[in-house]
Amino acid sequence: MIKVALAGAGAFGQKHLDAIKNIDDVEVISLISRNLEATQETAKKYGIPHATTELAEALALPDLDAVILCTPTQMHAEQSIQCMKAGKHVQVEIPLADSLAGAEAVYKLQQETGLVCMVGHTRRFNPSHQYVHNKIVAGELNIQQMDVQTYFFRRTNMNALGQARSWTDHLLWHHAAHTVDLFQYQTGETVTIANAIQGPKHPDLGIAMDMSIQLRTESGKICTLSLSFNNDGPLGTFFRYICDNDTYIARYDDLVNGKEEPIDVSHVDVSMNGIELQDREFFAAIREGREPNSSVAKVFPCYKTLHDLEQQLEGQQ
């Protein structure tokens, strides 16, 4: 039995709690979040015996093996380090950090401790993207271009449940991280050219609400990524894979070809839930003493690219 604590009982934290219910031999023994009363209510709903507002209190629990962090972006690097210093395996939701220095610090400590430190790059686990990846690995497919749209409507600081956020989301360090990592993962190549431009910053939120990113690998594969918090229409991220012998469009766990004909991906893995598959990989890596897919080491190139893009954007101001 792996005993785990989950920090961050908001919309995404509850997705992990729902996923873990489907995984054998894993028990959530502590729930950590800002508001104690609300945390206790959620803990009661999921049958979690301990609730607290302090991560350190949960880390001191006897028999605790691992922590899943679904906390605000700005806390990810510091809390990942805190967990590993306490001797706990950690899965931190995307992004690993909001700076290259933060990502480097987590990576360094993981190498020193040998603990499992995995980042929630869910696109590596969605059955839709796994289907494409398996074809690439089998030598059946090569990507020529990825065209990606990441669109949300967030002109106020609200989360996916419509609740006020205590922190500010970020198009580059959060939402672009999904695509930058997936592009390098699917092509098996490193980004050698990266360009970015952004629109005006929101007067209250202080972040750019629109952004465009271009990526190119050493062999010439390209990715075009459009991101917006101003889009009042279909929400989410939509991936178009333009390949040497086919085209695919992925919408989270669903996949169609270029003619919008559905592709059955139900056989790709044991679940159609990307978050559940991500959590299964985390716990399997702990049990088997191995490096997981989306380990901090494997996703680190993404954060180097994000840093380069940030430097470009700061130079445009």
Check residue 166 and give its pLDDT: 58
| Predicted confidence (pLDDT) per residue in 99-133, tens digit | 999 999 999 999 999 999 999 999 999 999 999 99
Task: Indicate if 170 and 309 belong to the same structural domain.
Answer: yes
Q: What is the mean pLDDT of residues 45-60?
A: 98
pLDDT of residue 197: 97
In degrees and rounded to multiples of 5, residue 164 shows phi and psi of -65, 135
Does 185 lie in the same domain as 103?
Answer: no
161, 104: one domain: no
pLDDT at 156: 64
Residue 118 and residue 296 in contact, taking contact as beta carbons nearer than 8 Å: yes
Sequence-distant (6+) residues with CB within 8 A of 248 are 128, 131, 132, 239, 240, 241, 255, 256, 257, 258, 263
For the chain, helix (H) and strand (E) counts, in that order, are: 9, 13
Find the CATH number of the domain harbouring 247: 3.30.360.10
Overall domain count for the chain: 2
Co-location of 48 and 68 in the same domain: yes
pTM of the model: 0.93
Whether 114 and 16 map to the same domain: the answer is yes
Reading the block at residue 210, the tokens are 């629109």
Please tell me whether residues 139 and 227 are part of one structural domain: yes
Domain of residue 15, CATH code: 3.40.50.720
Question: Are residues 43 and 133 part of one domain?
Answer: no
97 and 132 belong to one structural domain: no
129 and 254 co-located in one domain: yes
Let me know whether 252 and 264 are in one domain.
yes
Q: Are 82 and 161 contained in the same domain?
A: no
The 10s digit of each residue's pLDDT in 65-82 is 999 999 999 999 999 999
On whether the CB atoms of residues 67 and 94 are closer than 8 A, the answer is no
CA 194 to chain centre: 20
Domain span at residue 253 reads 123-269+303-316
Query: Model confidence over 126-167: pLDDT tens digits?
Result: 999 999 999 999 999 999 999 999 998 876 656 555 565 555
* In a shared domain, residues 133 and 253: yes
